[in-house]
Amino acid sequence: MESANGEQAMVILETSDITKRFKIPGAQPIEVLKGVSFSVSAGEKVAILGRSGSGKSTLLHILGGLLKPTSGKVLRPRNFGFVFQAYHLMPELTVLENVMLPAQSWRTPLARATALSRAVELLGKVGLKDRLDHLPAELSGGERQRVALARALVTDPELVLADEPTGNLDALTGADILKMLTELSSDGKTALVMVTHSQEAAAICDRCLTLQDGKLI
């Protein structure tokens, strides 16, 4: 992928011959991924399409280090964010505290102050500036997904991985989330890899890949 000035963009995510087999007691292993290889450049938005059960989420979890591949390699930046379909917010933490979670390793007072400022700014951008002290149970599904998106962005990541980010949302709220994801790479730095079965979601991306029979086509 070329940058706006015609230069070749830096590759920030690369997979090489990824396979994943799940062992089933008393049965043959199920091979979900069969030699998946692709790369993503800085600022690029890539959609991975496929039917339910095609292994899209398995692949995304491997990209994010949540699952280990059976074989193959993944090279990813250290600073990346993850948007889960089921939100995965900490129920006992406020909206602001949830968004700041990825920045908890920033130990110095200056870094913590920066994280707090960025979290408040992001929550304002996603329309939740009046919900900072609310718990997740007090929010709608769309609001929880906005919190999850702000959490993924709080460390200013080079890469965002999104698992069916509009799968649990109504059409209008889903459109808002897609607009926010579209704006991710406006600076040409933050890349997006999104797995989805939605053509509308895939349409915001620069490139679409389809996962079929364990392989990208």
Q: Determine the pLDDT at residue 39.
A: 96
**Residue 62 confidence (pLDDT) above 90:** yes
Q: How far apart are CA 136 and CA 87, in angstroms?
A: 10
- Cα dihedral 104, 108, 109, 115, rounded to 10, equals -40
Q: In the predicted model, what is the mean pLDDT of residues 141-156? A: 90
Q: In the predicted model, what is the mean pLDDT of residues 147-170? A: 88
Q: In the predicted model, what is the mean pLDDT of residues 137-157? A: 90
**Residue 155 confidence (pLDDT) above 90:** no
Please name the helix (run of DSSP H) or strand (run of DSSP E) that holds residue 8, with its range, or none.
Answer: none
**Residue 115 confidence (pLDDT) above 90:** no
Tokens for 86?
Answer: 């089921």
Q: How far apart are CA 59 and CA 64, in angstroms?
A: 9
Residues contacting 78, CB < 8 A, separation 6+: none
3-state secondary structure 23-55: CCCCCCCEEEEEEEEEEEECCCEEEEECCCCCC
More confident residue, 215 or 2: 215
Of the ranges 1-15, 92-106, 162-176, which one carries the lowest mean pLDDT score? 1-15
Question: Domains of the chain by range and CATH?
Answer: 1-79+158-217 (3.40.50.300), 87-156 (no CATH)
Q: Cβ of 206: how many Cβ atoms within 10 Å?
A: 15
Q: DSSP class of residue 108?
A: S
**Cβ distance 103 to 156 under 8 Å?**
no
Task: Identify the band that residue 86 occupies on the pLDDT scale cut at 50, 70 and 90.
Answer: confident
Tokens for 24?
Answer: 């089933």
**Cβ distance 188 to 8 under 8 Å?**
no
